[in-house]
Amino acid sequence: MISVLLVAGPTIWCAHFMVVYLFAEAVCAGGGPTQVLGVGMVSMLTLAATGVALAATLLLTRVAHRRRRQRSGPASNWLAGDNLDPGLALTGALLGFLFVIAILFVAMPAAVLDPC
């Protein structure tokens, strides 16, 4: 589907950003413990959410890149779409790479700074 390949990166980035931000806000404002076994809970969740978001974005970026190579042909699964235009598939792949970088930028402060 064209829409899946075009908006996959932005959608995953948005979900990742909201999960990380809301969890950090809940933990820091909650007044409870912010560390488990000496490791920050916010940092652990940020790294886990980043891994999941990166894996999903890279997978869908790879699908878009492969669809760019296939100029025509029958749809083999629900991600492939009906004869996706190679230009749109390239746009989806480039957006995917852009939002991989954006996801990493969201995760960088948790690796360096104390979130609370």
Residue 36 bridge partners (DSSP): 39
DSSP secondary structure letter of residue 81? -
pLDDT band at 67 (very low <50, low <70, confident <90, very high): confident
Q: What is the arithmetic mean of pLDDT over 13-28?
A: 90
pLDDT of residue 105: 93
The model's pTM = 0.76
Instruction: Give the span between the Cα atoms of 51 and 2, in whole angstroms.
Output: 25
Strands in the chain per DSSP E: 35-36, 39-40
Contact 65, 93 (CB under 8 A): yes
